[in-house]
Structure 1
Amino acid sequence: MTQRVRSRIAFTTGGLLLVALALSQLTPPVGTAWRDAALLASSLLAGYPIALRAVQALRAKAFSIDLLVTIAVVGALVIGEYVESAVVSFLFLFGAWLEARSLDRTRASLRELVDLAPTRATVLRDGRRVTVDADEVLEGETVLITNGERIAVDGAVLTGTAAVTEASITGEPVPVTKRVGDRVFAGTFAESGYLEVVADRVGDETTFARIIELVEEAQESRTRRQRFLERFAQVYTPAIVVLAVVVLAWTRDLEFALTFLVIACPGALVISVPVAAVAGLGNIARHGVLVKGGESLEDLAAADRLVLDKTGTLTVGRPVVTAVQALGGLAEDALLTLLAALESTSEHHVARAIVAHAEQRGMPLSSDLTDVEVVTGLGIAGRVDGRPVLAGRRTLLTERGIAVDDRAVLSATAHEQRGATVVHVAVDGHLAGLVAVADEVRVEAADALAKVRDSGIRQVVMLTGDNAHTARLVGERLGLDEVRAGLLPQDKAAFVEELRAQGRRVAMIGDGVNDAPALATADVGIAMGGAGTDVSMETADVVLLTDRLDQFAHARRVARATVRVMKQNTALALLTVGLLVAGVLLQVVQLAGGMLVHEISVLLVILNALRLVRLRGPRRAGEAGGTTAAGREPTRQKEPAL
């Protein structure tokens, strides 16, 4: 039976109750007979979907609350208490309708995302413009995007300029200007301008399609609290049936036993956790963060230690080459040409910076690459035009038996003290030069970390494979509690494991392949989705869809608020059931009145959860409390007392 049919039944039975109330004003016995007929019709009509769900649960070997209500309604009909049977069945059905409506509202973020999915695209095929379905675009095709059009693929801008609204991906409502070389994403909207984009992710592989898939999976997942309550209901329901039989045997009062049976139904308890979880997950998703399930939401709220990678996480991840120093007789241009060709096979931020620098200088990149070996956390090796090239940290060269003289050490140290990362380059088995690459700290990092501390994170630690000088400068600028530099991927994972062994609940944020082991080791792993690698995003429990740390601060705030609402709802539901059962046993609560109080508690649980939907996300530039044009310190937004 569909939700729409159940809704119609609920309102029809409500109408029959009003008809019965009007008929009760007529002169007996005619008025009484018609009133009872209306009440009986209302009871049977409302009781049918309740009984149907009870039978379905029994077939699945589960005891549901519907079973308790069905027994009570049948019992009330047997003893002729038509008013009680009609009111109880209507209130229960109406409560189920309220629950469905609230869950539907909290899932609105997913429907909004689906509505934003592009359906058509214009591509260049054989020199002609062809309009095709969005899922028919092929990887590598050129997609034409005009003013007022929704983008259908992920890709890089080949030509043109446009103002693109990326709210569906990032939660940021302000349009971003896209130029040649910039990336665009499916589901975003071209406010003005014209772009030609080379598609590199199409159909179900686009970022937008993955967002929808992950949100669907997260909202269908179960929290640990929810699974506990489901197990609790499996024991509680048959226990209440047995107690009702005991009450009947003890008192010989069928109406009293039925009243006890119905009033003991923990309806508000059953929905107390899922309605809050769905509301919280929906809010977080609307603001550019994907939490891959209810357990991850709880782990995010429980974390008390935050561990972060540096490059691409605390820094913008778009470093630039600041110096190229040739050593050993090789010309600077030759050194850069060989290095850029080798680094073109890597996705690392430093590698991208080197390749971009070479391209800006008009240097052709060789395609004759063989024996390429990525040494995770240390560097890369291979043959370019037949010549062996090795690039990376100083330790990589020394491990491969290549000497690094004092002059090179002094030069590298000078660059590192200015905050740069130094790539040591060896060609033909000898040190050939150094390339210094510098990155910028994210503008929102300091304020975001302050908000994270306000939300209960007691220690913030940065782990990086970069040199100690650069790491120290970043740590001092952001006021980090601890900085560890020169780490390999396994070292990062070992540090996280060490914290967990001490009883800490660790959240880890990273963006690269070398962060994947630590992300997997942490209680909750968070990947930077904007520039993060597929490996880190698949490993992580939470994905920040853009490179903004304030999105994490908001997700953490909502996660903690969600857990608080879960606890509040559970306490309210238990308190209500306890008071009502006590009232029944003291014979001061009757069946219809008890059901009314019960449904009011359901409504309060729903309304309490819906507050999570309204929690605002990170403040944008120009808003009150946001970063001002003059760069003033933003006002800290305190965590709400939910």
Structure 2
Amino acid sequence: MRCVIKHSLPGRLRLQLPRNLTDHEALALEETFLEMTFVRKATAYPHAAGFAVEFEPTKSSHNAVVGRMAKITFAELNAWRPNDAFALAPRSRELYAKLANLTAWFVLRLFMPKPLKTVLWFWRALPFWKASLESLRHRRLDVAVLDGAAIAMGFTQGANNAGETMFLLHVGEILEDYTRKRSESSFAQSLLGIPTTARVNRNDAEVEVDLSDLQIGEHVIVRTGDAMPVDGTVVSGEAMVNQSSLTGEPLPVMRQTGDSVYAGTAVEEGEICVRVTSDPAQSKINSILAMMQDTNAAKSAEQKRIENMADKLVPWNFALAGAVALATRSLSKTAACLMVDYSCALKMSGAIAVMAAQREGARRGFLVKGSRYFDAIAKADTLVFDKTGTLTAATPAVYHVEPYNGFSRKEVLRLAACLEEHFPHPVARAVVNAALEEHLEHRKLHSDVEYVVAHGIVSSLENGKRVVIGSQHFVLEDEAVQIDAQQLEHIHGLALGTSPLFLAVDHQLRGVIYIDDPLKKEAHSVIENLHAEGFRRVIMLTGDADRTARRIAEEAGIDEYHADLLPEDKHRFVRKLQAEGCKVCMVGDGVNDSPALATADVSIAMSAGSAVAREAADIALTSDDLYSIVYLRRLSRTLDRRMKYGYRFAIGFNSLLLALSIAGVLTPQQSALFHNASTIALSAASAYPYLPAPNGTTGRFRTSASR
């Protein structure tokens, strides 16, 4: 492309293009240059045929920019497609262009002959009246009917009055549409920044890679409790897959060789190998779009009440306008009453406030699936924590290995790792990591494994002997492995607050692995902050022994704890709290927490938790930092206050406008101007950050300057 360099400074070029650009070409030009790592900002001026680039102030960067500009063609720009759908979010220049075109159209009509002007304004009014008739056909008295009636009233006072009314309505629509789309895009962009990984087979070895490094055609391994990271086709294995996030179907479905699977679903049972069939980045975008649709469905009772009230107030606008018409016989005052409604401000500001909270939540380390969950967090008075992987470190470690009955220490650890490698729970990873650190290769020594939730693992060795690994209750009581009281006392003495993992072969104890699961360093401070934020009770539920649970509870400052619990026990305990009148928030990470998570008034899944737990939860943490829960509580309570303030402001200010209109202080056009301005201002205030950024500034994503 032949361009003229208009200005050149170190690190900045301003170029004159051979012709004006379309919006698509301008976007493509900006994004093409932003892909260059040394480019800091790229701004296209489509209607002025200009382009400005800021880059690292080096000669090589300057030459690279000039060289790229010389090679790029209009055909290349028109063929460009974004990496993600959210790159097509409206830019500020598009807003300015629309407003400029609308203003020019309006001003030109003012100088036309009156008959032609009237015809043109009448033609411009047809879309408004068509929308009004469509609403009336469906027996709805809504904002579209108000607008149509106001324009009709304007024509009774002259074509210019009708034109001014339509101009202001168009301005309001453009600004409201831009504000809403920018808020949706900002929320989506915040979700795109969340890292995702997948396990793949490379060079005959299983490795974990970032989703961005995944290639089409590679084989991804997905096991019980895992999320499906990509869209693909099953090439081996079979699994029960929960697809409720996409289809709404609550029951899992069988997926086996040849079946398609989709990103965002979760494997509840089994193991499959999936061939990647579509761009992993696009799979993630589809998951985000599905989540945003769920967000719209999961509105809080308060948000629904406000939106329902907004709809119910429209008929009262007509009633008020009719009363004013009868009382004053003034077309101007009647039209002014029709220009002010409560619906736009109430609906738009509420939706934007929720999206802003979700966007900020994503940046703070948590994803909230809808406004009703913010509302539930704000009202919760009882917080229930799981222990392992929640209050304790996400990566517990093997503290000690004690062999028994002829097994060596290495044999115990090797066999345990061989069994545990099939499951994503933190304790399982600790055993596998310990074997890897000691370079203990563990080829498959057993047949298929069975995971008994909250108990342990059952399998059989090549020689047919039954092998089990799990808790004391599971191995010694359920599996009837016999050891004497003195030996059990010795095991408890070695535990010292750690969690013993029992390994038995053919009903004989072969080893005990002591797992040290230290408390997260921020846990005590977080509990103190949550008490300060209004939680009356903070409770810990765990399947571990009482001794371990007591130590963790004392270190964390937990109000009460309950140990030796099965999943159904946790579920019953949450039910019991609710029966007592508590508003319960449950925090967990494992498959065994899913029943309790699903039962609680609101639930939170940890970032390292299983996909099944994250599917059951209403809120998913994307950070290991427990302070995310503190930020969640603060943000939820702030959102509640902001929603109520927006409701009071919209009712109060628009009521004032109606009063001034009835008094004759405001003309219909002035009423529309102030009404639209207040709606935009309230929406902008609703989008403002809720909490101060850690460094005192609000985080931003790297984008082109014109966004």
Normalised to the residue count of structure 1, the TM-score between the two structures is 0.75
> Mind listing any 5+ residue stretches in structure 1 that lack a counterpart?
24-32, 127-131, 142-151, 155-185, 187-197, 626-642
1:450 and 1:200 mapped to 2: Cα distance? 47
- Structure 2 matches for 1:198-213, cutoff 5 A? 203=278, 208-209=284-285, 212-213=288-289
1:14 matched to which residue of 2? 103
2:590 matched to which residue of 1? 512
1:378 and 1:115 mapped to 2: Cα distance? 37
2:491 matched to which residue of 1? 412
**C-alpha displacement of 1:520:** 0.5
- 1:586 and 1:502, CA in 2 relative to 1: closer, same or farther beyond 3 A? farther
Amino acid at match of 2:177: A
Tell me whether 1:596 sits opposite 2:673 in the alignment: yes
Give deviations 1:515-544, integer Å, cap 9, x for gaps: 111111112211113x21111111111111
- Structure 2 matches for 1:120-199, cutoff 5 A? 136-140=216-220
Amino acid at match of 2:333: F
* Of 394, 399, 405, the match for 2:478: 399
Q: Answer yes or no: is the 8 Å Cα contact 2:341–2:654 preserved in 1.
A: yes
Tell me whether 1:535 sits opposite 2:535 in the alignment: no
* Of 518, 522, 533, the match for 1:440: 518
- 1:42 and 1:524, CA in 2 relative to 1: closer, same or farther beyond 3 A? farther
1:134 and 1:433 mapped to 2: Cα distance? 39
1:524 and 1:420 mapped to 2: Cα distance? 30
1:485 and 1:201 mapped to 2: Cα distance? 43
1:200 and 1:318 mapped to 2: Cα distance? 29
2:335 matched to which residue of 1? 258
1:565 matched to which residue of 2? 642
SS of residue paired to 1:107: helix
**C-alpha displacement of 1:488:** 0.8
* Of 386, 408, 418, the match for 1:309: 386
Amino acid at match of 2:593: D
Q: Answer yes or no: is the 8 Å Cα contact 1:303–1:457 preserved in 2.
A: yes
1:167 matched to which residue of 2? none
Q: Answer yes or no: is the 8 Å Cα contact 1:43–1:90 preserved in 2.
A: no
Give deviations 1:355-403, integer Å, cap 9, x for gaps: 3323333434252423633221122222123221222222222233333
Amino acid at match of 1:212: I
Amino acid at match of 1:401: A
1:598 and 1:557 mapped to 2: Cα distance? 31
- Greater shift, 217-226 or 262-271, is seen at 217-226
1:235 and 1:557 mapped to 2: Cα distance? 32
**C-alpha displacement of 1:492:** 1.2
Tell me whether 1:216 sits opposite 2:295 in the alignment: no
Give deviations 1:579-629, integer Å, cap 9, x for gaps: 2333344444432332233223213312211213x7445x4xxx689xxxx
- Greater shift, 364-373 or 422-431, is seen at 364-373
Amino acid at match of 1:374: Y
- Greater shift, 509-518 or 322-331, is seen at 322-331
Instruction: Please report the RMSD computed on the Cα atoms of aligned residues, expressed in angstroms.
Output: 3.8
- Greater shift, 422-431 or 257-266, is seen at 257-266
Count of aligned residue pairs for this structure pair: 545
1:425 and 1:124 mapped to 2: Cα distance? 32
SS of residue paired to 2:392: coil
1:420 and 1:336 mapped to 2: Cα distance? 17
2:425 and 2:305 mapped to 1: Cα distance? 43
Q: Answer yes or no: is the 8 Å Cα contact 1:19–1:38 preserved in 2.
A: no
2:543 matched to which residue of 1? 465
2:170 matched to which residue of 1? 93
- Structure 2 matches for 1:598-613, cutoff 5 A? 598-612=675-689
- 1:293 and 1:429, CA in 2 relative to 1: closer, same or farther beyond 3 A? same
- 1:324 and 1:64, CA in 2 relative to 1: closer, same or farther beyond 3 A? same
2:240 matched to which residue of 1? none
1:75 and 1:331 mapped to 2: Cα distance? 93
SS of residue paired to 2:388: coil
Q: Answer yes or no: is the 8 Å Cα contact 1:390–1:426 preserved in 2.
A: yes
1:490 and 1:115 mapped to 2: Cα distance? 36
- 1:359 and 1:377, CA in 2 relative to 1: closer, same or farther beyond 3 A? same
> Mind listing any 5+ residue stretches in structure 2 that lack a counterpart?
1-88, 196-200, 205-211, 222-228, 232-262, 264-272, 698-707
1:47 and 1:298 mapped to 2: Cα distance? 41
Q: Answer yes or no: is the 8 Å Cα contact 2:191–2:362 preserved in 1.
A: no
**C-alpha displacement of 1:60:** 5.4
SS of residue paired to 2:412: helix
1:172 matched to which residue of 2? none
- 1:62 and 1:230, CA in 2 relative to 1: closer, same or farther beyond 3 A? farther
Amino acid at match of 1:494: R
- 1:340 and 1:19, CA in 2 relative to 1: closer, same or farther beyond 3 A? closer
- 1:114 and 1:292, CA in 2 relative to 1: closer, same or farther beyond 3 A? closer
**C-alpha displacement of 1:421:** 0.5
Tell me whether 1:344 sits opposite 2:344 in the alignment: no
**C-alpha displacement of 1:209:** 4.8
1:615 and 1:38 mapped to 2: Cα distance? 54
SS of residue paired to 1:486: coil
2:382 and 2:480 mapped to 1: Cα distance? 40
- Greater shift, 210-219 or 298-307, is seen at 210-219
1:296 matched to which residue of 2? 373
Give deviations 1:455-475, integer Å, cap 9, x for gaps: 333322211111222222222
Q: Answer yes or no: is the 8 Å Cα contact 2:216–2:279 preserved in 1.
A: no
Q: Answer yes or no: is the 8 Å Cα contact 1:68–1:265 preserved in 2.
A: no
* Of 218, 225, 237, the match for 2:314: 237
Tell me whether 1:279 sits opposite 2:356 in the alignment: yes
- 1:528 and 1:355, CA in 2 relative to 1: closer, same or farther beyond 3 A? same
Q: Answer yes or no: is the 8 Å Cα contact 1:419–1:473 preserved in 2.
A: yes
SS of residue paired to 1:263: coil
SS of residue paired to 2:219: coil
1:441 and 1:449 mapped to 2: Cα distance? 12
- 1:448 and 1:275, CA in 2 relative to 1: closer, same or farther beyond 3 A? same
2:494 and 2:579 mapped to 1: Cα distance? 37
1:73 matched to which residue of 2? 151
* Of 627, 639, 651, the match for 1:574: 651
2:122 and 2:213 mapped to 1: Cα distance? 49
Amino acid at match of 2:366: V
2:637 and 2:399 mapped to 1: Cα distance? 42
Amino acid at match of 1:407: Q
- 1:592 and 1:218, CA in 2 relative to 1: closer, same or farther beyond 3 A? same
The percent of aligned pairs where both chains have the same amino acid is 30
1:37 and 1:445 mapped to 2: Cα distance? 75
Q: Answer yes or no: is the 8 Å Cα contact 1:475–1:482 preserved in 2.
A: yes
Normalised to the residue count of structure 2, the TM-score between the two structures is 0.68
- Structure 2 matches for 1:416-435, cutoff 5 A? 416=495, 418-435=496-513
**C-alpha displacement of 1:423:** 1.2
Give deviations 1:179-208, integer Å, cap 9, x for gaps: xxxxxxx9xxxxxxxxxxx99988577895
Q: Answer yes or no: is the 8 Å Cα contact 1:461–1:480 preserved in 2.
A: yes
Amino acid at match of 2:484: D
Q: Answer yes or no: is the 8 Å Cα contact 2:500–2:513 preserved in 1.
A: yes
